[in-house]
Amino acid sequence: MRILVSGGGTGGHIYPALALIETLKKEQPESEVLYVGAERGLEKRIVPESGIKLRTLHIQGFKRSISFENIKTVYLFLKSVHESKKIIREFKPDVVIGTGGYVCGAVVYAAARLKIPTMIHEQNSVAGITNKFLSRFVDKIGICFDDARQSFPTEKIIFTGNPRAQQVAGMTKSNRLYKEYGLKKDVPTVLIFGGSQGAKKINQASIAAIKQFANKKYQILFVTGRRHYDKIMANPATQHLPENVFIQPYIADMPAILPEIECIVGRAGATSLAEITALGIASILIPSPYVTNDHQTKNAMSLVSKNAAKMITEEELNGQLLAKEIDDLMSNTIEREKIATNCKQVGVPDAASRVLNVLDSLVNG
Ligand SMILES: CC(=O)N[C@H]1[C@@H](OP(=O)(O)OP(=O)(O)OC[C@H]2O[C@@H](n3ccc(=O)[nH]c3=O)[C@H](O)[C@@H]2O)O[C@H](CO)[C@@H](O)[C@@H]1O
């Protein structure tokens, strides 16, 4: 199969695409893949690191308020559609899939106009603007939450789950935390991170909680996000860290460390939730209130309502509450294991194969 993949902006749209490509390479090693991303997206770094061919487009997202920038956005979109058609004619894909983010708006739209079979993958419980726009033109739509059905034409929808779940589900404990990140062996680990970009409020609360983490029976791996790291490491509160607190800017290979994590504290981005549910890890979710239609709260509630995760709102978040919630969960093994078991029940560990089946059916009829 020749497949053109597009999606980007943030890790939540890129990692599902990469997981899909990984499964494709395993199941159909002769297939050819081209990734089209945005010049300014996180994909520019992440995709080549995975050894996948990348072409980029100069494109930007719409501002929510009316502004002059949006005129530029329309111009860049039309230019990118034109550019995408050129890339598609050169690469000659059998099928094109978009995994969200504005860049795939231009690429998938161009493919549909050229009558190439197309699919989009929606990771969230509420559709993003790009996928909503594309839903009119594409052949199939893969979803991960039943709530997303409301956003799309029923006849195109297939429940697939998020391909990243399959990548993570195949992982086993590897002692990576100890060998690569210097954490202690055989001490339960709490991972704190704010999505693929880091989250300022979660970072502030974590810094405020550092002293309260000292002398606990668990250790903390606090991942700040690359752009916040230097400032955080210059903060007086991080100068003398307790022995059980470790700080990193970013974890390049998150699936490899997740099997070693006892509890996750983080945003409720859809791809993070796919990972958490694939393995069954207890979590305390702090949804970002800054995303379209508050979709992270809806993502989080889909787990909280099944007692498959705990939740703190960003409004109530502070260092004291964060330290207390972590301590309560880490001190109560029975509750933690119950949450982890419920969490695993909602996972879709074969999601990448499910998406590939849809793509195969589009190509082979
Ligand atoms: C602010 C924003 O627009 N967020 C959206 C974005 O989130 P964001 O990009 O933060 O995405 P997710 O939380 O869904 O996924 C983050 C991904 O980055 C990985 N990771 C994170 C930190 C790290 O150090 N290393 C690493 O590899 C995680 O393992 C995960 O695979 O896309 C998601 C779609 O999936 C949406 O649900 C989120 O609402």
* DSSP label of 147: G
Q: Report which protein residue has its CA nearest ligand 1's atom 27.
A: 254
From 129, 196, 285, mutation site for ligand 1 pocket: most ligand atoms within 8 A of C-beta: 196
- What pLDDT does 202 receive? 98
Helix intervals (H) in the chain: 11-27, 43-49, 69-91, 102-113, 129-134, 163-169, 176-179, 200-213, 226-234, 254-257, 270-279, 295-304, 319-331, 333-345, 351-364
Whole-structure pTM value = 0.92
- What pLDDT does 67 receive? 75
Single-letter residue type at 238? T
In the reported structure, the alpha carbon of residue 92 is separated from the centroid of ligand 1 by a whole-number distance in angstroms of 30
The annotation status of 296 as a binding-site residue, yes or no, is yes
Q: Report which protein residue has its CA nearest ligand 1's atom 2.
A: 291
In the reported structure, the alpha carbon of residue 270 is separated from the centroid of ligand 1 by a whole-number distance in angstroms of 7
For ligand 1, residues with CB inside 6 Å are 10-13, 15, 123-124, 164, 193, 195-197, 223, 250-251, 254, 267, 269-272, 275, 288, 291, 295-296
Note the ipTM here: 0.96
pLDDT in tens, the chain (365 residues): 999 999 998 999 999 999 999 999 999 999 999 999 999 999 999 999 999 999 999 998 877 666 778 888 899 999 999 999 999 999 999 999 999 999 999 999 999 999 999 999 999 989 988 999 999 999 999 999 998 999 999 999 999 999 999 999 989 998 999 999 999 999 999 999 999 999 999 999 999 999 999 999 999 999 999 999 999 999 999 999 999 999 999 999 999 999 999 999 999 999 999 999 999 999 999 999 999 889 999 999 999 999 999 999 999 999 999 999 999 999 999 999 999 999 999 999 999 999 999 999 999 98
- What pLDDT does 61 receive? 81
The annotation status of 331 as a binding-site residue, yes or no, is no
The annotation status of 124 as a binding-site residue, yes or no, is yes
Fold of 176-346: Rossmann fold (3.40.50)
Would you say 311 and 302 are in contact if contact means Cβ atoms under 8 Å apart? no
The annotation status of 142 as a binding-site residue, yes or no, is no
The distance from CA 197 to its chain's CA centroid, rounded to whole angstroms, is 10
Q: Domain 2-164+350-364 carries which CATH code?
A: 3.40.50.2000
In the reported structure, the alpha carbon of residue 322 is separated from the centroid of ligand 1 by a whole-number distance in angstroms of 21
Name which of 104, 153, 111, 155 is nearest 128 in CA terms.
Answer: 104
- What pLDDT does 292 receive? 86
The annotation status of 10 as a binding-site residue, yes or no, is yes
Residue environment code for 112-145, b if the CB has 16+ CB neighbours within 10 A, otherwise e: beeebbbbbbbbbbbbbebbbebbeebbbbbbbb
Single-letter residue type at 59? I
Q: Report which protein residue has its CA nearest ligand 1's atom 30.
A: 272
In the reported structure, the alpha carbon of residue 365 is separated from the centroid of ligand 1 by a whole-number distance in angstroms of 33
- What pLDDT does 70 receive? 84
In the reported structure, the alpha carbon of residue 267 is separated from the centroid of ligand 1 by a whole-number distance in angstroms of 8
Q: Report which protein residue has its CA nearest ligand 1's atom 6.
A: 12
The annotation status of 196 as a binding-site residue, yes or no, is yes
Single-letter residue type at 174? S
Position in ligand 1 atom list of the atom nearest CA 299? 37
Beta-carbon count within 10 A of 58 CB: 12
In the reported structure, the alpha carbon of residue 157 is separated from the centroid of ligand 1 by a whole-number distance in angstroms of 23
Q: Round to whole Å and give the CA distance between 279 and 299.
A: 17
Position in ligand 1 atom list of the atom nearest CA 296? 39
In the reported structure, the alpha carbon of residue 107 is separated from the centroid of ligand 1 by a whole-number distance in angstroms of 22
Q: Report which protein residue has its CA nearest ligand 1's atom 25.
A: 251
For the chain, the maximum distance between any two Cα atoms, rounded to a whole number of angstroms, is 62
Q: Round to whole Å and give the CA distance between 226 and 203.
A: 12
- Domains of the chain, residue spans: 2-164+350-364, 176-346
Would you say 182 and 206 are in contact if contact means Cβ atoms under 8 Å apart? no
